[in-house]
Amino acid sequence: MPDAPAHTDAPQPDAARPTGGALGRVREWFGVDVDWERVPAGRDAYRRDLLLGGAFMVFAAISVELGRSMGLFEETGADEPLWLIYLLGVVSMVPLAWRRRFPLVSLVLVYALWLGIGLTVPAVTVLMPMQIMYFVALFTAVAWARDRRAMLVVVGACVVAMFTWLIWMFAVQQGAEVIIESYPTPADWPGSVEPYLANAVYQLVMNVAFFGGAVVAGQMQWHAARRREQLAAQAVTIEKQAAALTDQAVVAERVRIARELHDVVAHHVSVIGIQAAAARRVLGRDPARAEEALVTIERESREGVTQMRNLVGTLRAVPDGHPQDASRAPEPGLADLPALVGAEHDGLDATFRQVEEPQGVVAVVPEPMGLSLYRTAQEAMANVRKHSTARSATVTLRVIRAADPTDERFAHGYAEVEVLDDGRARRGTSGSGLGLLGIRERAATHQGVVEIGPRATGGFRVRVRLPLPAPDPAEAAVAAPVAAQVPASSTEVA
């Protein structure tokens, strides 16, 4: 029958297991040392037990009448009043009404009634409802008892008492005497085994199967309930972990979106702000320079809108079977760094350098890594314009395939972008810090290292180094002869 909702701690599959031979295995199988208690049955189960007890009381009354009609009580010599036989048969079923509410108490009452009735009206104990009741009571006690030590004591005492009573009934009362008198000599035996011995073995096997079956079935039901609760607890844990992972994924995606928005918007908005201020200052005295500033504002605003559209397009889900939007421009990468550095920077002298070893190794940098390096340079250059008095800045891209012996993370080489300037922090400007945080988050995504801070010789440094993946066989086959001919190359764009 189904259990009530659990209200105890989930069972632990690695609960303490006793050792010590056969006794230890018995204790383990019966769950004596397991840190788990079965949840009591709910009210619905208790109501069903009441109905079961009532049904068995009716069943017992019918069985008594059928037994009387068959002459069962006359054969056994019962001379008790008929009403007493009915009463004993019906009252014996009462403990079934609370078998799961008080399993051990019910077992003790059932077997106490068995002994009492067996000593007064033995014929009642062999009725079918009585036999079923004995089995159900023993099964329920083993399956539902919460205190497993108490269960072993009570069940063991009841089983020993029952076998003692059966032996006494068979050996002392009329059972053995009747058999011996009926077959006094071997010539009178119906078979090859002495009737007394055959009857004793038969009674032993039948009762061992009866009591043992009830105990084994009850304990298997207890183990099944424990396993069900373990699976339910594991399902809850898995559900919570899945929800937590979903939340983490949502948070990570929000951070990524915020980082992309900041990197896309900050660069263009900073240029627009600087150029707008310049146009305002020279509008009256130098219309040509003001026009140049307005042209820059127009260009930057268009590029910003284009990149925003591209970003939104990458975030929008595309239904299965539908092609991607071919009109959307690709994400920027390392090939776009020269254009980024060479753009108008309002008087800032910007220089781009590219160092690769061997030549052409830039092509093996994965696109996500190239995007991260591009965004790093973009954010660093935006910070130079907004927060620095620098007159010059240098952006250096280094892609080195050789292993770095000082750091095992770069066993297959690295791709690095470094932005240096010669200025100091500009007074009256302050940022949110989200740009530098985004740089660190991007580097962490690729297990890279970040260096951000002032230089000893003056100015500021932003350097991000990301580990290159292991070369594939095709790259290794092509790179070997190229590296032998052209060890390294360096490019500079002012």
Of 13-27, 57-71, 337-351, 466-480, the poorest mean pLDDT is in: 13-27
Distance (Å, whole) CA 302 – CA 116: 100
| 31, 149 contact by CB (below 8 A) | no
475-484: average pLDDT: 49
For the domain with range 334-493, which CATH number is right: 3.90.25.10, 3.40.1160.10, 3.40.50.970, 3.30.565.10?
Answer: 3.30.565.10
Mean pLDDT calculated for residue range 94-99:
87
> Cα–Cα distance between 142 and 214 in angstroms, integer?
8
Burial call 326-340: b when 16+ CB within 10 Å, e when fewer: eeeeebbbbebbeeb
Most confident of 84-93, 189-198, 234-243: 234-243
Question: pLDDT at position 330, please?
Answer: 65
Please state the pTM of the whole predicted model: 0.53
Q: Which tokens belong to 360?
A: 């052409």
Pairing of strands 449-454, 460-467: antiparallel
Q: Is the pLDDT of residue 100 over 80?
A: yes
Q: Give Cα separations from 467 to 9, 327, 408, 446 (angstroms).
A: 46, 32, 10, 7
User: Which of the two residues, 421 and 180, has the higher pLDDT score?
Assistant: 421
The predicted pLDDT at position 452 comes to: 92
**Mean pLDDT within 4-16:** 44
Please, are residues 61 and 86 in contact by the beta-carbon 8 Å criterion?
A: yes
Q: What distance in Å separates the CA atoms of residue 108 and residue 115, rounded to the nearest whole number?
A: 11
Least confident of 109-123, 154-168, 185-199, 330-344: 185-199
pLDDT tens for each residue of 237-293: 999 999 999 888 888 777 777 777 776 676 677 778 777 887 888 888 888 888 887
Q: What is the CATH number of domain 251-315?
A: 1.20.5
Q: Which two tokens stand for residue 253?
A: 């995606």
Domain boundaries, the chain: 21-239, 251-315, 334-493
- Who has greater pLDDT, 417 or 428? 417
Average pLDDT of the chain, as a whole number: 80
Distance (Å, rounded) from C-alpha 167 to C-alpha 115?
Answer: 13
pLDDT tens for residues 279-325?
Answer: 888 888 888 888 887 887 887 788 777 777 766 665 665 555 555 55
Highest mean predicted confidence (pLDDT) among 25-34, 61-70, 412-421: 412-421
pLDDT of amino acid 165: 81
